Amino acid sequence: MIEYIKKVAEDLGINLIITNTQESVETQLNRLVGIESLPAMLISWDIETTITFDEDGLPDNPVSNIVCLLVTKPEDRTKREHQDDALDMANLFIKFIVELHQELLPRQRNNVVPPIQNATYTLAPSYGKGKHSGVLGRFSMETPITYYPCRR
């Protein structure tokens, strides 16, 4: 599932950073993100995925719940600049969701349920000690059925 997020982010000029869970997001954001790598989207590896089966016993597309932080950093540190950048990141998040939907649509086993659902965001005009501006986004995505070989 990460490969689809990564492709769409890259196409839109977003630097995707997959974070770990041992450190706080704020610590990782301040260490990993420089002005040259903005806008940046942080996603944790802690992705919850649900697998269900249809009435014939076949697996439906797995549904993963994604939480991301999409940020930039204003050059000017005025309140207005932070707010404007957060709104710009909201628009970029919407564009990202639309593009990700288009990327996943042809890969669905059936077209009954859209591949992106429950997409929401919260404006974060001044996030963390680094005063990044952006959005905290959440969405559920259906991904193609992939079987990974077991290691023994």
Domain boundaries, the chain: 2-142
Query: pLDDT confidence of 80, banded at 50, 70, 90?
Result: confident
Tokens representing residue 122 in the block = 């919260």
Nearest Cα residue to 125 out of 83, 68, 78: 83
Nearest Cα residue to 43 out of 15, 63, 62: 15
The per-residue pLDDT for range 9-60, each reduced to its tens digit, is: 999 999 998 886 665 666 656 655 555 678 999 988 888 899 888 888 888 8
HSE-CB of 94 using CA atoms within 13 angstroms: 7
Class of the CATH-defined domain 2-142: alpha beta
pLDDT score at 76: 75
Mean pLDDT (whole number) for 106-112: 75
Predicted TM-score (pTM) of the model is 0.85
